[in-house]
């Protein structure tokens, strides 16, 4: 078995599960911050395997899901400007704006193209000097450094028709907001793996130090997630709070400092509008004035758009861990992956989509 | 948060690299990981290598897990 | 033909230019006594006894050429397989071509040649055809619709609604190869290893299966929507539940890695040479052996059972031993990126 495959070893996973069941002697709730973890937990059936004492709550770590309605509407409006090619990651095209989705805007004539990388968008700008190529900058700290690199590369190559509509957001402020709002009682956090590859495991020290809550940085294979849960259970039972990096093969204490440097060279910290949280200070990334030419917010004037969240949609509460998706009255009725009402059902990392796709047998009755 | 997949670097040309995802190959950027070498396993996210996948660390983690299990087994025997 | 000759609107007019197109591109490959009569409709000798299976499939795959085949292969094999899934012996195909103005004639010839080869390999005759041309920009190179007729031996009773609790679910081959070969090509990714379309005619292996397991209840090929969708359709039609073992379903490494790379679920990826067969428990062993003895079934596996519990729902038992729902594909298979 290759090294990576050993993190999928069912026998090892089952042994760790047994330890969790033995150790978890009192009710405890852990939040898996990251949408990728929610997806993996549902896909592997880990929720069903937990003892009744351990509750797993999904958090706001889905960049598509925490995009505000206004941000989506503005992105759609951008795509409809003449001469603009709007480039975006795939998940964003099906998120419902107040009137329609990016995909529908494309069907009505907007030039919307799905790209795998911001560098692809930059190269598209090079290939179409007569067009304005705008990249929809969605994503957390995992994604923003690459977007920054694409801006620096565009600058180096003299590409002057490339800009970013930045709605990038930072993860620690959202984690703080959840705890500060005090709506959910958390005993521990399963920390995001790939965000931490960039920002480092030390970025999460505020959780034990300021909130007294243990955090385990976890990878995405079954063994990774179960180890993280086991370590959290052990810390809770022993009344300890610390940062444990259980994803040592991909995360270091200080993270990828080069990526951080590029990110903060091009972006500065700013207020951002989060679905489910509203305006959070110091939680987003705006393009610095020095790179203003690459800032779509400066390049284009967008009309004020009266944004309205989809009626009845409870994405916000799902993102704050207050309710689980099946508790939303729209779940599996008006809102399904084929006909999503809100972004949590569109993105595979959205809790609602993960619950819908991978629910347990009992929940289908 | 997002999808990042391990791949092995097979070729480097300045800050561009070709990586192999177990049979599927792709070009990616090393702008965020300029010191990566051919043969390194890296995590790839949206066309960028964002970090090295350290096999030694992986083995260390697995060894630690094995040790914990052995200790657990000894505890069982003591009961 | 000059290498840069292209389809023009005149080719679709029905007049002499159409005649020339047929003679130059289609006739050299589609040659048989039925077509030679050049009638408006094919006249076919009907065998009495048994029932007819009749099916149609439209093919709009893009790109037209991909590792492992062409749109032509998929067009022929797709319809042959729909018939085979009913236990029918495929006999005759009719094909309609919608050509886009500007399509290279050499590309069209390549497609037609692959269709003729596929038809010959499947032992079917193409007995009727039609060609139309649409303006540039109104088509994707070529769209091909293929209808097919086959004969079902009288003793067979194969129907999606026949499955009973306890029946065993078998699969003939690894999943996700076709869809990923297409996706990878579409995304402009290079690859090596066995990532190519699995398009193949399945009636030969089906025949072998039915000889060993004549009381086979139902079969379905796992095309659009993948294995998950095929299983859900069967569960719904028979109003039974199913439990499938994740570990048991074969996936080649190349396809699995391509799925991981693009964030796709192999269970929802299209196949063109994969089918599931549901057999009564006492025929399961012989059925599996029969599949494995055929080149298209070397990696056949038993993957699950039908159950009276949770009717119409397909449950997956994950490698960790947890059980969760396996949903059919809903909406587009958009590569998940971030």
**pLDDT above 90 coverage of chain B, percent:** 53
CA–CA distance, A215 with A190 (Å, rounded to integer): 6
Residue closest to C53 by CA, chosen among C90, C6, C107, C99:
C90
Q: Which of A63-72, C29-38, C81-90, C147-156 is least confident?
A: C29-38
A101, A347, A357, best to mutate vs chain C, most C CBs in 10 Å: A357
SS3 C44: coil
Q: Does C186 touch chain A (CB under 8 A)?
A: no
CA–CA distance, A317 with A36 (Å, rounded to integer): 18
Chain C residues whose beta carbon lies within 8 Å of the beta carbon of residue A138 = 338
CA–CA distance, A280 with A42 (Å, rounded to integer): 29
- Tokens representing C46? 């009907």
Structure confidence at residue C98 (pLDDT): 96
Q: What's the mean pLDDT in C198-214? A: 96
Q: Does B2 touch chain C (CB under 8 A)?
A: yes
Which CATH number applies to B5-78? Answer: 2.30.30.140
CA–CA distance, C42 with A252 (Å, rounded to integer): 71
**pLDDT above 70 coverage of chain C, percent:** 96
pLDDT for B76 beyond 60: no
Total residue length of chain A: 365
C144-179 b/e (C-beta count within 10 Å ≥ 16 → b): bbbbbbbbbeeebebebebbeeebbbbbbbbbbbbb
CA–CA distance, C244 with C314 (Å, rounded to integer): 7
- Tokens representing A33? 């911050």
Q: Does A313 touch chain B (CB under 8 A)?
A: no
Q: Does C335 touch chain B (CB under 8 A)?
A: no
Residues contacting residue A91 through CB under 8 Å, at least 6 positions apart: A64, A346, A347, A348, A349, C334, C336, C337, C338
pLDDT band, residue C183 (cuts 50/70/90): confident
Q: Taking CB atoms and an 8 Å limit, are B24 and C257 in contact across chains?
A: yes
CA–CA distance, A268 with A287 (Å, rounded to integer): 6
Selecting from C190, C194, C338 the residue whose C-beta is nearest the C-beta of B25 gives C190
pLDDT for C255 beyond 50: yes
- Using alpha carbons only, how large is chain C's radius of gyration in Å? 21
Q: Taking CB atoms and an 8 Å limit, are A361 and C324 in contact across chains?
A: yes
Q: Taking CB atoms and an 8 Å limit, are A10 and C319 in contact across chains?
A: yes
Structure confidence at residue C337 (pLDDT): 39
pLDDT band, residue B21 (cuts 50/70/90): confident
* Mean of the per-residue pLDDT values of chain C: 91
DSSP string, chain B: ----EEEEEEEEETTEEEEEETTEEEEEE-TT-TT--TT-EEEEETTEEEEE--HHHHHHHHHHHHHHHHHHHHHHHH-
Q: Taking CB atoms and an 8 Å limit, are A90 and C318 in contact across chains?
A: no
Residue closest to A163 by CA, chosen among A137, A201, A193:
A137
Q: What's the mean pLDDT in A307-311? A: 86
DSSP string, C54-113: EEEEEE--SSSEETTEEHHHHHHHHHHHHHHTTT-EEEEEEEEEEEETT-BHHHHHHHHH
Structure confidence at residue C178 (pLDDT): 94
Q: Which chains touch C (3 or more CB pairs under 8 A)?
A: A, B
pLDDT for C317 beyond 90: yes
Higher pLDDT, C187 or C136: C136
Count residue pairs from B and C with Cβ separation < 8 A.
43
Q: Taking CB atoms and an 8 Å limit, are A116 and C187 in contact across chains?
A: yes
Residue closest to A55 by CA, chosen among A186, A227, A224, A192:
A186
pLDDT for A82 beyond 50: yes
- Tokens representing A8? 């999928």
Cβ pair C205, C172 in contact under 8 A: yes
Chain C residues whose beta carbon lies within 8 Å of the beta carbon of residue B21 = 257-258, 260-261
Structure confidence at residue B79 (pLDDT): 38
SS3 C180: helix
Structure confidence at residue B65 (pLDDT): 80
CA C118 to chain A, closest CA, distance in angstroms equals 35
Selecting from A63, A149, A171 the residue whose C-beta is nearest the C-beta of B32 gives A149
pLDDT band, residue C336 (cuts 50/70/90): very low
Question: Cis link prior to C63 (omega < 30° from 0)?
Answer: yes
Antiparallel, parallel or unpaired: β C241-245 and C190-191: unpaired
pLDDT band, residue B72 (cuts 50/70/90): low
pLDDT band, residue B37 (cuts 50/70/90): very high
Q: What's the mean pLDDT in A316-345? A: 92
- Tokens representing A84? 């603009």
Q: Which domains can be identified in chain C, with CATH numbers? A: 9-152 (3.30.1330.10), 160-325 (3.90.650.10)
Structure confidence at residue C330 (pLDDT): 76
Structure confidence at residue B29 (pLDDT): 97
CA–CA distance, C328 with C309 (Å, rounded to integer): 18
Structure confidence at residue C333 (pLDDT): 60
Selecting from C194, C257, C263 the residue whose C-beta is nearest the C-beta of B21 gives C257
pLDDT tens-place string over residues C136-179: 988 889 999 999 999 999 889 999 999 999 999 999 999 999 99
Would you tell me how many other CB atoms lie within 10 Å of the CB of residue C198? Answer: 24
Higher pLDDT, C217 or B64: C217
Q: Does A298 touch chain B (CB under 8 A)?
A: no
Selecting from A35, A146, A192 the residue whose C-beta is nearest the C-beta of B47 gives A146
Q: Which domains can be identified in chain A, with CATH numbers? A: 1-357 (3.40.50.11740)
CA–CA distance, C188 with A206 (Å, rounded to integer): 43
pLDDT tens-place string over residues C220-249: 999 989 999 999 999 999 999 999 999 999
- Using alpha carbons only, how large is chain A's radius of gyration in Å? 21
pLDDT for A303 beyond 50: yes
Structure confidence at residue B77 (pLDDT): 45
Q: What's the mean pLDDT in A77-94? A: 94
pLDDT for C184 beyond 60: yes
pLDDT tens-place string over residues B41-58: 999 999 999 999 998 988
């Amino acid at each position: 078995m290759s090294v990576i495959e050993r993190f999928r070893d069912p026998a090892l996973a089952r042994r760790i599960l047994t330890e969790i069941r033995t150790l978890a002697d009192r009710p405890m709730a852990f939040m898996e911050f990251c949408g990728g973890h929610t997806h993996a937990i549902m896909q592997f059936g880990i929720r069903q395997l937990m003892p009744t004492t351990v509750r797993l709550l999904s958090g706001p770590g889905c960049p598509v899901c925490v995009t505000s309605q206004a941000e989506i509407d503005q992105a759609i409006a951008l795509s409809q400007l003449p001469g603009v090619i709007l480039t975006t990651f795939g998940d964003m095209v099906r998120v419902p704006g107040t009137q329609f989705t990016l995909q529908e805007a494309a069907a009505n004539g907007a030039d919307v193209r799905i790209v795998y990388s911001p560098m692809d968008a930059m190269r598209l700008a090079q290939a179409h000097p007569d067009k304005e190529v705008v990249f929809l900058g969605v994503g957390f700290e995992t994604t923003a450094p690459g977007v920054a690199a694409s801006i620096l590369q565009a600058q180096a190559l003299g590409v002057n028709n490339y800009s970013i509509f930045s709605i990038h957001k930072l993860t620690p402020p959202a984690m703080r907001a959840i705890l500060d709002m005090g709506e959910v009682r958390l005993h521990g956090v399963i920390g995001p793996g790939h965000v931490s590859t960039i920002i480092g495991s030390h970025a999460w020290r505020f959780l034990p130090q300021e909130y007294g809550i243990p955090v385990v940085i976890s990878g995405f294979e079954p063994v990774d997630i179960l180890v993280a849960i086991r370590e959290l259970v052990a810390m809770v039972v022993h009344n300890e709070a610390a940062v444990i990096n259980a994803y040592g093969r991909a995360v270091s204490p200080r993270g990828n400092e080069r990526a951080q440097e590029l990110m903060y060279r091009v972006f500065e910290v700013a207020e951002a509008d989060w679905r489910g949280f509203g305006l959070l200070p110091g939680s987003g990334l705006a393009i610095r004035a020095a790179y203003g030419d690459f800032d779509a917010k400066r390049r284009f004037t967008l009309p004020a758009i009266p944004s309205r969240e989809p009626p009845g949609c409870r994405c916000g509460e799902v993102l704050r861990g207050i309710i689980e998706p099946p508790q939303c009255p729209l779940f599996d009725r008006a809102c399904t992956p084929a006909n999503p009402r809100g972004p949590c059902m569109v993105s595979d990392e959205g809790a609602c989509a993960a619950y819908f796709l991978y629910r347990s047998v009992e929940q289908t009755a | 948060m997002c999808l990042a997949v391990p791949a092995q670097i097979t070729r480097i040309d300045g800050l561009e690299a070709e990586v192999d995802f177990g049979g599927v190959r792709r070009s990616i950027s090393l702008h965020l990981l300029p010191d990566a070498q051919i043969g390194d396993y890296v995590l790839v996210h949206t066309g960028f290598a964002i970090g090295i996948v350290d096999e030694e660390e992986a083995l260390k983690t697995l060894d630690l897990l094995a040790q914990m299990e052995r200790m657990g087994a000894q505890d069982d025997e003591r009961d | 033909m000059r290498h840069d000759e292209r389809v023009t609107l005149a080719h679709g007019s029905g007049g002499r230019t159409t005649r020339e197109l047929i003679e130059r591109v289609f006739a050299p490959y589609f040659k048989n006594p039925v077509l030679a009569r050049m009638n408006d409709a094919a006249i076919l000798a009907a065998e009495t006894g048994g029932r007819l299976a009749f099916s149609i499939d439209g093919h709009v795959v893009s790109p037209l050429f991909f590792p492992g085949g062409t749109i032509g292969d998929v067009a022929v094999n797709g319809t042959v397989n729909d018939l085979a899934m009913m236990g029918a012996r495929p006999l005759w195909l009719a094909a309609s071509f919608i050509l886009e103005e500007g399509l290279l004639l050499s590309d069209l010839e390549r497609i037609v040649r692959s269709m003729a080869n596929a038809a010959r390999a499947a032992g079917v005759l193409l007995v009727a055809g039609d060609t139309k041309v649409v303006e540039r920009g109104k088509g994707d190179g070529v769209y091909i619709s293929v209808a097919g007729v086959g004969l079902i031996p009288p003793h067979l009773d194969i129907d999606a609604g026949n499955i009973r609790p306890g029946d065993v679910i078998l699969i003939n081959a690894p999943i996700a190869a076709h869809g990923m070969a297409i996706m990878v090509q579409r995304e402009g990714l290079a690859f090596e290893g066995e990532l190519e379309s699995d398009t193949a005619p399945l009636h030969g292996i089906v025949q072998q299966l039915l000889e060993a397991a004549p009381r086979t209840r139902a079969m379905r090929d796992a095309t659009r929507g993948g294995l998950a969708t095929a299983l859900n359709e069967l569960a719904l039609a028979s109003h039974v539940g199913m439990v499938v073992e994740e570990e048991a379903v074969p996936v080649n490494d190349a396809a699995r890695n391509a799925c991981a790379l693009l964030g796709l679920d192999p269970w929802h990826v299209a196949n063109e040479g994969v089918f599931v067969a549901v057999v009564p428990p006492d025929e399961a062993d012989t059925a599996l052996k029969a599949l494995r003895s055929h080149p298209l079934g070397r990696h056949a596996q038993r993957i699950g059972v039908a159950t009276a519990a949770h009717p119409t729902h397909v449950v997956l038992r994950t490698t960790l031993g947890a059980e969760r729902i396996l949903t059919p594909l809903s909406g587009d298979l958009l590569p998940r990126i971030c």
